[in-house]
Structure 1
Amino acid sequence: MQKSLDAKLESIHSDPANSNEFIIADAKDADMGFGIAAPGRRHSSNNRDGDKDRGKFPFKSLEEYREQIRQVIRQGVVDIVLMSASTSEILCQKERLFDNSHVTPAIRANDATDIFVFRGSTIPNEPAQPFRTALLDHAQCGEVDCPLDNREFGADLGLYSVTFNNLIDEDLNTLNTYREFRIEAERKKFRHFLEVFHPNFPGTIPTSEIPFFVNDVIARTLAGVPSVARPIFLKIPYPGPEALEELVNYDPHLVVGILGGSSGTTRDAFQMIHDAQKYGARVALYGRKINHSENQLAFIEFLRHIVDGVISPEEAVVAYHSVLEKLGTAPHRPLELDQQITTGSQSYNEEAVSSSSTSPTPNKPSDVPTSIDFSKMTSEERLDYHRNRLKHL
């Protein structure tokens, strides 16, 4: 079965100016960064035993997490499901859930130190260092030495993440490690998409310049990379209209995607994907925004309706609450509160931005990055910041 990702990328590249295709990914790779807390908190249940489990074990189990992924694959609305290599082995190689699905499996191909955000960890306080747990051979066929004719058995797509901190030694190490990955990936016919985080170390670049620093880093990093080794799309924190349009305009064949950031309100999630598409993004990868929702499948359906132009973000929130009511599912917050735009658009997410309006206006919180002053934070506050920025609960 042809994968929708491949068909959409072909459409985009054949006519970048007029293609309306939009790619949605469910990022279910949180176990690469958060350990036990990765699957997210349990919601209240309708049975006594479930409530007992919720009190004793506040976080979902890994098997519950994987069952949610199975449901998303069967639903078939997203184009990509991003997983850890261990989850991909089970769902892709053993259960063969992607064989008759247009959904593309992908793995997190590296796990640099800025996502080591587990209980007691202080590692994200330091400049990000490259690291890779997953082996491409394992992802492709489950063996450390994968035969060339057997590499379609598993996943052939991965997320590779880089963080540049404007520090020469660290940034050169990041670039060299990425080059080594590209060489291996090309030889093994493994595709990748490139995630470029904002700097995780304070004081190396003014906050207002970060979106444009990221744009220039991307352009410079890929300038020496031929088409056969380039990422099939990008994943960046939503930088606001100006920086996003600048990057999209720079190279129409550089497919730009945004990451979801913190969960926030339902309106936050729906408005972000709408705004990103409006200013040129072609991809959205939502982790916590999907995983924290009351009903993941319904939430995903409305994301698709929004990018297809069927419904506005504000209308989608109302309709989503109506679905929850019909399903007998209690919403996390009342409709009036769920319509509020409460978070900035920068990344996974920094800090909440209050908004008294339910509709964004140009150059207001939903359109511009939240300003973060690392110099005024204690080390504990910076650690909390990075935990909130990177977790996929």
Structure 2
Amino acid sequence: MSQKSLDAKLARIHADPRGSKDFILADAKDADMALAIGAPGRSPEAHSGEVRYRSLAEFRDIITQIVEAKLVDIMLMSASTSEVLTIHKRLFDNSPVTPAVRANDTTDIHIIRGSKYPSSPSLPFRTATLDHIQCGHLDCKPEERHLGANLGLYSITFNNDAVLDRAALEEYKQFRLEAERKGFRHFLEVFDPNQPEAVDASQLPGFINDVIVRTLGGVTSKGRPLFLKMVYHGPKAMEELVHYDPHLIVGILGGSAGTTYDAFKLLSEAKKYGARVALFGRKINNAENQLAFIHFLRLIADGEIGPEEAVRAYHGVLQRLGIQPYRTLDEDMQLQTNVMSYGGNGVVISVPPSAGEVKKDKKQTAPCTCKSPGRTACTCQNRKASTPQTNGTVDFTKMTTAQKIAYHKARWDRILGCCP
């Protein structure tokens, strides 16, 4: 059994909460418990304007590819998908990736065509049982509990309603007690209220921070979540929660699909102000190339590249793969969120390339020496000489933006068989 990167990173973070540079990345592929038919994402095939989605088998094949690439620390799935991949196919046995399962599915995530569930007050509900998550059937024997996933996501949506919120808290309490008895670990997802005007917008960040701290105040270490998953409400709210208890590891959720810069900047900013986990679902699933997208999320999480240069490098990879991007580079460099600063105003921000990069792009018009499709020259021949290294290891801190982009493009050339 391979050591899981999640456990190693959690141990290092708790050993040095302020100084640890570890960052946990999760791919949320549990959308079949929310979006149903649309969960696997749109099929890349053309159907004369018809909206067609991938099949469940295709969805699971993509999950397998991502796990085998070892770019994420956690793969979050539905219980049924985990049964196939974790219990039957043993996908995670020799992998550093930890399988996880959505342990409850409150009614506000039942996003069904023609339904009104998402706009109705959230009600607690659990489809999967812990036994079925752990061993695939009811009443697991003790020796069977290791066969499946041993980590789950538990979700609560607080609506500032004493009756509804009390019911949600009671359900969470019962879940924690059962999980502790069965040796099942969890992380806690706290959604913003799904009822309009449940909390004044100016008070929402404080409301969420307070309900989290209050909810966990009476929970001892054996029952506490490994980490949190929540909406990123900006630097001030993140710093407040991290300062309160540095051992309360905070993670952010990716939210709906947007521009590539939205996703990359969100990860970079949340990490800057104290987040140690990021869970992306639709942003990954709707990407032009999921493996390449996750690759750059990983580089940003590990501090090897900035979000702006990552977007440009990602577009470079798409170009070399012959994949048509959904947006032009200029369009994909737009930031469409208002929580990246202490005083966000909701204005769309576009980040242009630097003058130095424009000049460099004009110069690099030679055809790729390894016959790779693309506008810029391949860096294969000069890769070793032009890549700053320290003790034989690539030193990203000494690279210019252009060098980082060239390095990652060259790396993908090697992965795709472009260069020796």
TM-score of the aligned structures, taking structure 1 as reference length: 0.86
- Distance (Å, rounded) in 1 between the aligned partners of 2:348 and 2:204: 23
Query: 1:126·1:201 contact (CA, 8 Å) conserved in 2?
Result: yes
- Distance (Å, rounded) in 2 between the aligned partners of 1:344 and 1:262: 14
- The residue that corresponds to 1:36 in the other structure is 37
Higher gyration radius (CA)? 2
- The residue that corresponds to 1:252 in the other structure is 246
- Distance (Å, rounded) in 2 between the aligned partners of 1:56 and 1:277: 39
CA offset digits 1:126-155 (Å, max 9, x no partner): 211100000110110111010112211100
- Distance (Å, rounded) in 2 between the aligned partners of 1:274 and 1:161: 24
- After TM superposition, give the deviation of residue 24 of structure 1 in Å: 0.2
- The residue that corresponds to 1:9 in the other structure is 10
- The residue that corresponds to 2:198 in the other structure is 204
- The residue that corresponds to 1:25 in the other structure is 26
User: What amino acid maps onto 2:55 in structure 1?
Assistant: S
Going from structure 1 to structure 2, the CA distance change for 1:356 and 1:16 (only over 3 Å counts) comes to closer
Comparing 32-41 with 104-113, which one deviates more in the overlay? 32-41
- The residue that corresponds to 2:144 in the other structure is 150
- After TM superposition, give the deviation of residue 344 of structure 1 in Å: 3.9
User: What amino acid maps onto 1:159 in structure 2?
Assistant: L
Query: 2:135·2:145 contact (CA, 8 Å) conserved in 1?
Result: yes
- The residue that corresponds to 1:283 in the other structure is 277
- 2:120 corresponds to 1:119: no
Query: 1:237·1:345 contact (CA, 8 Å) conserved in 2?
Result: no
- Distance (Å, rounded) in 2 between the aligned partners of 1:289 and 1:38: 12
Comparing 141-150 with 270-279, which one deviates more in the overlay? 141-150
Equivalent runs, 1:103-114 vs 2, <5 Å: 103-114=97-108
- Distance (Å, rounded) in 2 between the aligned partners of 1:157 and 1:118: 27
Going from structure 1 to structure 2, the CA distance change for 1:94 and 1:305 (only over 3 Å counts) comes to same
Equivalent runs, 1:131-142 vs 2, <5 Å: 131-142=125-136
Query: 1:264·1:343 contact (CA, 8 Å) conserved in 2?
Result: no
- 2:310 corresponds to 1:328: no
- The residue that corresponds to 2:82 in the other structure is 88
Going from structure 1 to structure 2, the CA distance change for 1:203 and 1:340 (only over 3 Å counts) comes to closer
Unaligned runs of 5+ in 2: 353-420
Structure 1 consecutive aligned stretches of length 4 or more whose deviation exceeds 6 Å: none
Query: 1:33·1:116 contact (CA, 8 Å) conserved in 2?
Result: yes
- Distance (Å, rounded) in 2 between the aligned partners of 1:57 and 1:204: 35
Query: 2:333·2:350 contact (CA, 8 Å) conserved in 1?
Result: no
- Distance (Å, rounded) in 1 between the aligned partners of 2:280 and 2:307: 16
- Distance (Å, rounded) in 2 between the aligned partners of 1:186 and 1:264: 38
SS at match of 2:210: helix
User: What amino acid maps onto 1:24 in structure 2?
Assistant: L
Which of 46, 52, 66 is the aligned partner of 1:51? 46
- Distance (Å, rounded) in 2 between the aligned partners of 1:212 and 1:63: 42
- The residue that corresponds to 1:195 in the other structure is 189
- Distance (Å, rounded) in 1 between the aligned partners of 2:131 and 2:250: 27
Going from structure 1 to structure 2, the CA distance change for 1:70 and 1:345 (only over 3 Å counts) comes to farther
- After TM superposition, give the deviation of residue 353 of structure 1 in Å: 4.3
SS at match of 1:247: helix
Identical positions, percent: 59
Between the two proteins, the alignment pairs up a number of residues equal to 347
Equivalent runs, 1:56-95 vs 2, <5 Å: 58-95=52-89
Comparing 203-212 with 127-136, which one deviates more in the overlay? 203-212
- The residue that corresponds to 2:163 in the other structure is 169
Alignment root-mean-square deviation, CA? 1.5
User: What amino acid maps onto 1:241 in structure 2?
Assistant: P
- After TM superposition, give the deviation of residue 342 of structure 1 in Å: 1.7
- After TM superposition, give the deviation of residue 57 of structure 1 in Å: 5.9
- Distance (Å, rounded) in 2 between the aligned partners of 1:126 and 1:55: 32
- After TM superposition, give the deviation of residue 236 of structure 1 in Å: 0.3
- After TM superposition, give the deviation of residue 345 of structure 1 in Å: 4.4
User: What amino acid maps onto 1:358 in structure 2?
Assistant: V
Which of 251, 261, 264 is the aligned partner of 1:270? 264
Greater RCO between the two (CA within 8 Å, min separation 6)? Answer: 1
- After TM superposition, give the deviation of residue 38 of structure 1 in Å: 1.2
- The residue that corresponds to 2:227 in the other structure is 233
- 2:355 corresponds to 1:355: no
TM-score of the aligned structures, taking structure 2 as reference length: 0.81
- The residue that corresponds to 1:97 in the other structure is 91
- Distance (Å, rounded) in 1 between the aligned partners of 2:179 and 2:328: 47
Going from structure 1 to structure 2, the CA distance change for 1:356 and 1:256 (only over 3 Å counts) comes to closer
Which of 285, 295, 308 is the aligned partner of 2:289? 295
- After TM superposition, give the deviation of residue 308 of structure 1 in Å: 1.4
User: What amino acid maps onto 2:348 in structure 1?
Assistant: S
User: What amino acid maps onto 1:39 in structure 2?
Assistant: P
- After TM superposition, give the deviation of residue 204 of structure 1 in Å: 2.4
- Distance (Å, rounded) in 2 between the aligned partners of 1:68 and 1:345: 31
- Distance (Å, rounded) in 2 between the aligned partners of 1:51 and 1:204: 42
- After TM superposition, give the deviation of residue 120 of structure 1 in Å: 1.0
